[in-house]
Amino acid sequence: RKEVEQDPGPFNVPEGATVAFNCTYSNSASQSFFWYRQDCRKEPKLLMSVYSSGNEDGRFTAQLNRASQYISLLIRDSKLSDSATYLCVVNPGGGYQKVTFGTGTKLQVIP
């Protein structure tokens, strides 16, 4: 099993839809979790951290499920500008060498 796994997609959704992505991780001791957004041929940008209690920022909600070892990202009322690849990042602790990036889930919001 890979350390961090994401469905590559693409997820094609109409404007205004709600879409959710999951990211599973294998190390149950993982401590920090993040979602990044990466536009085509650009650098990743931090979207939000994922806390044990969940985290909401406008239309975006991130959740952590430790029992099932996954994090999720929910996007409500999708906009065309949300089209991007969403990367999850898992830090199991023990040094930066162990930080693992997922390969990303591609989202395409359609007019």
Partner 1 sequence: DVKVTQSSRYLVKRTGEKVFLECVQDMDHENMFWYRQDPGLGLRLIYFSYDVKMKEKGDIPEGYSVSREKKERFSLILESASTNQTSMYLCASSLGPRNGYTFGSGTRLTVV
Positions in the binding site for partner 1 (CB under 8 A): 31-32, 34, 36, 41-46, 49, 87, 89, 91, 93, 95-97, 99, 101-104
Token reading at 30:
């993982």
CA gap 96, 21 in Å, rounded: 25
Per DSSP, 27 falls in state -
Q: How far is the CB of 111 from partner 1 (least distance, A)?
A: 27
Q: How far is the CB of 12 from partner 1 (least distance, A)?
A: 20
Q: How far is the CB of 14 from partner 1 (least distance, A)?
A: 27
